[in-house]
A = this chain, B = another copy of it.
Amino acid sequence: MQSYPKLLSLIESHIAENQFYGSPQNLYDPLNYILGLGGKRIRPVLTLMGCELYSGTAEEAIHAALAMEVFHNFTLIHDDIMDKAPLRRGNPTVHEKWDTPTAILSGDLMLAKAYECLLRSEPQSWSALFNLFNKTVYEVCEGQQMDMNFESQSLVSETEYLEMIRLKTSVLLGCCLQTGAIIAGATESESRKVYNFGTDLGLGFQLMDDYLDAFGSAELVGKQTGGDILSGKKTIMMIHASKLEGEKLNKLLTNSELTDNQKIEEVKAIFVQTGADQYLKQKAGTYFNDASKIVSDLAVNADNKTAMLALLDAIKNRSF
């Protein structure tokens, strides 16, 4: 299997060579703009890895890999409207740079373009690919709706929170790996295993994202930390800490005499004091362990297993 940097550079070239053109230009520009903001490209890289894992070539899966990245970026455009987010990767969001109607419509176009990219894969895989992709699209929408519903829900259980991040984030990582595996012609049992590896990886990934949003370095993460705390997001740390210090947290977050930074620091102190940060890390660790167990069970050669474990380690230990 080729290394992450090599696969990443394949993806970057493919994105650069496949700009979207059409008229009116202000409908098409947002697609290239958001794809041009970079990011880790973990989804398309996972797609290529899933293919190489089963002796397929990165070339066979490159269109599907782009489909996954295009789909992911479509969700970013629309989520940013729903969340009223002004910035994405340090740049103005699409609805800020253009306007909300254009952002809605460019997003719609982008979702259709994801289907087109996937259609460029070999027709013998279409049935399996589209069944998986459609299911994933529905689940990602369901996860986003759950996330929005949580805002007006006074109590969110840990189970509900984990289900939300499973749908909103982790199923797409599973879908990417399985998409690659399907293209390489892996058996159904293997492609299902690799899907589960992806969802475990994704759950750990998202939990670490929540951790970094509070405890990460703003410089490394590339955005102001503490955003989840200030918006009162019911993350697993907040849910855990609220069980012990719910009243204190509530008072803190609604105290208008405190600055934002004071709130963030005090809430973080409660997270530490209640062990919420360690609880999150332990939970994430369980998912990473489950993922690692799946790797040992895959019917692939030792080198490929090593590569998958290295990926797991990199995501586990990331600081941004």
Contacts and interface: CB of A to CB of B under 8 A. Distances in A.
Contacts of A127: 119, 123
Contacts of A292: none
Contact of A108 (B102, B111, B149): B111
18 contacts: A24-B146, A24-B149, A26-B145, A27-B141, A27-B142, A82-B100, A82-B105, A105-B144, A105-B145, A105-B148, A108-B137, A112-B141, A115-B134, A116-B130, A119-B127, A119-B131, A123-B126, A126-B126
Contact of A105 (B26, B123, B141): B141
Contacts of A146: 24
**Oligomeric state, in copies:** 2
A22 interface: yes
Contact of A104 (B26, B78, B149): B78
B102 A104 contact: no
A88 to B, nearest CB: 16
A112 B137 contact: yes
A11 B216 CA distance: 55
Given A101-B82, A111-B108, A130 B141 contact: no
Interface of A is mostly: helix
A106 to B, nearest CB: 8
Interface of A: 22-24, 26-27, 78, 81-82, 100-102, 104-105, 107-109, 111-113, 115-116, 119, 123, 126-127, 130-131, 134, 137-138, 141-142, 144-146, 148-149
Contact of A112 (B23, B111, B113, B126): B111
